Amino acid sequence: MSISDHLPEHIRELTERYAGETVALRRHLHQYPELSFEEHETAAFICERLDELGIPYQSGVAGTGVIAELQGDADAAPGAGKAGAAKVVALRADIDALPIQEPAGLPFCSQRPGVMHACGHDIHSAALLGAGHILQTLRTQFAGTVRLLFQPAEERIPGGALGMIQAGALRNPSVSSVIGEHVNPDLPVGKVAFHSGFFMASVDDVYITVRGRGGHAAKPHQNIDPVIISAHLLSSLQQIVSRSADPLVPSVLSFGRVIADGAHNVIPNEVRIEGTFRTTDDTWRYEAHEQIRRIASSTATSMGGEADVEIRVGYPSVVNEPGLTERLRCAAVEYLGQDQVVDTPPAMWAEDFAYYGREAPACFYNLGVGTPGVDNAPVHSPSFQAEESCIALASGLLSYLALTELS
Ligand code: NI
């Protein structure tokens, strides 16, 4: 296909024309959030919209996922090239929400107690539907296929991406690239940020049960105190990141939950500890798991207790394919302007988008949703909010990126 010089302008016009409906889609999704792997109404809503747009899809993928297929029809446009005819570009949005109570205030506040779109997946989904509308309108102007992946359960291990891939999301025919985005409240609305290469960490959940022998706090010599064992263990485990990890390989071991359910005068029988291990190197990742097990066990044994360690292996690291990332960055500059496209450093967040990158060239970028000049609340916070103008921008940008990749 030949991407006309007017394409960015044309897409911006469509974006503006559809902005009202895209925002309405987001507000509906925001009002009716659903937790990971329970996104039945969300999926039904997405399918209803795809029906209205006349875009064919398959639902029930990996449980509650939806895969839509948008076929370019450049035959109808004489003069349009066929270069992209065999190509398939996948655009991915995650659709699940979080177990967070949204405070009252927004006119389209969550109607489901204890569930909130606090990670912006409502924005990702609405923007992808918006891109579907734009691309459907433009379908006589491109050849090739844009596959829309509405993926369930990004927030909960094992995630929905693996199931989507196993169900064939990237095959028949195979995709040439996968593009995904995530809202970032630290980035002002209007801007997007890219990073080539390693972008996000692998993540594994660590669960440790320290067993001792509880009893009266006044007679510690007759008990085996799992609280003191846990205190030693938490300190000892930090030598994994400070002494065992290669200083040039980022590693994080954080424990956010320590439950010693005794009392001021009762030593409990056991302590439950929960944490997260994140790194960027796969070999070191599994070595570190062994070290966590060994140190926990030997520390507890040396003090007369026991430690059971369970490590739930989560997502691999997100690596943005350099060639694709560079092409998308250039396309974003064409669409948004030089000043609006920035570089962002990698971080120890995690994302199951990582799995797509293991199968095909993939790029995950950040979408600015922050109010300029304000200390914006982070994602996963009940105070998280987004500037809604990001949605139209995101749907236009996704469309443009897909079409440049097909060209
Ligand atoms: Ni998220």
What contacts 44, CB < 8 A, 6 or more positions away? none
Q: Which of 34, 39, 94, 96 is catalytic?
A: 96
Span from the CA of 371 to the centroid of ligand 1 (angstroms): 19
Q: DSSP letters along 29-81, please?
A: HHHS---TT--HHHHHHHHHHHHHHT--EEEEETTTEEEEEEE--GGGSTT--
Task: Report whether pLDDT(258) > 50.
Answer: yes
Give the integer Cα–Cα distance in Å for 127 and 406: 19
Alpha carbon of 182 to ligand 1 centroid (Å): 6
Q: Write the single-letter amino acid at 288.
A: A
Q: Which residues contact 175 (CB under 8 A, 6 or more apart)?
A: 88, 89, 90, 147, 360
pLDDT of amino acid 1: 43
Q: Which of 162, 133, 160, 164 is nearest to 146 (CA)?
A: 133
Mean pLDDT score across all residues of the chain: 95
Q: What is the pLDDT of residues 263-308, one digit of tens each?
A: 999 999 999 999 999 999 999 999 999 999 999 999 999 999 999 9
Whether 113 shows a pLDDT value over 90: the answer reads: yes
Residues 284 and 36: their CA atoms lie apart, in Å, by 29
Task: Please give the distance, rounded to the nearest whole angstrom, from the Cα atom of residue 269 to the centre of ligand 1.
Answer: 37
Please report which confidence band the pLDDT of residue 217 belongs to, taking 50, 70 and 90 as the band edges.
very high
pLDDT 10s digits, 321-357: 999 999 999 999 999 999 999 999 999 999 999 999 9
The structure tokens listed for 196 are 């080539």
Predicted pLDDT of residue 277: 98
Percent of the chain with pLDDT over 90: 95
Whether the pLDDT of residue 78 is over 60: the answer is no
Find out whether 379 and 119 touch, Cβ atoms under 8 Å.
Answer: yes
User: 135 CA to middle of ligand 1, Å?
Assistant: 25
Q: Does residue 268 contact residue 226 with C-beta atoms inside 8 Å?
A: yes
pLDDT classification of 391: cutoffs 50, 70, 90: very high
Q: How far is the CA of 121 from the centre of ligand 1 (A)?
A: 6
How far from each other are the two terminal CA atoms of the chain, in whole angstroms? Answer: 5
70 contacts: CB under 8 Å, gap ≥ 6:
55, 132, 135, 136, 139, 145, 146, 147, 148
Its pTM stands at: 0.91
3-state DSSP helix/strand/coil % of the chain, to nearest 5: 40, 25, 35
Instruction: Tell me, in angstroms, the distance from the centre of ligand 1 to residue 119's CA.
Output: 5
**pLDDT band with cut points at 50, 70 and 90 for residue 3:** low
Q: What is the pLDDT at residue 106? A: 94
Cα 379 to averaged position of ligand 1 atoms, centre (Å): 8
**What is the C-alpha to C-alpha distance for residues 334 and 331, in angstroms, rounded to an integer?**
5
Q: How far apart are CA 161 and CA 62, in angstroms?
A: 8
| CB atoms inside a 10 Å sphere around CB 345 | 7
The single residue of 102, 154, 204, 351 carrying the catalytic annotation is 154
DSSP string covering 102-118: PPS-STT--SSTT-B--
- Give per-residue burial for 173-190: e unless 16+ CB within 10 Å, then b: eebbbbbbbbbbbebbbb
Strands 266-267 and 88-94: unpaired
- CA–centroid distance, residue 70 to ligand 1 (Å): 25
Q: Kindly report which listed range (73-82, 171-180, 197-206, 301-310) carries the lowest average pLDDT score.
A: 73-82
Cα(155) to centroid of ligand 1, in Å? 7
Cα of 96 vs centre of ligand 1, distance in Å, is 8
CB 180 within 8 A of CB 364: yes
The pLDDT-based confidence of 76 (bands split at 50, 70, 90) is low
pLDDT tens per residue across span 10-67: 999 999 999 999 999 999 999 999 999 999 999 999 999 999 999 999 999 999 999 9
What domains sit in the chain, N to C, each tagged with a CATH number? 3-200+317-406 (3.40.630.10), 202-313 (3.30.70.360)
Distance CA 328, CA 367 (A): 13
Active-site annotation holds for 154: yes
pLDDT value of residue 86? 78
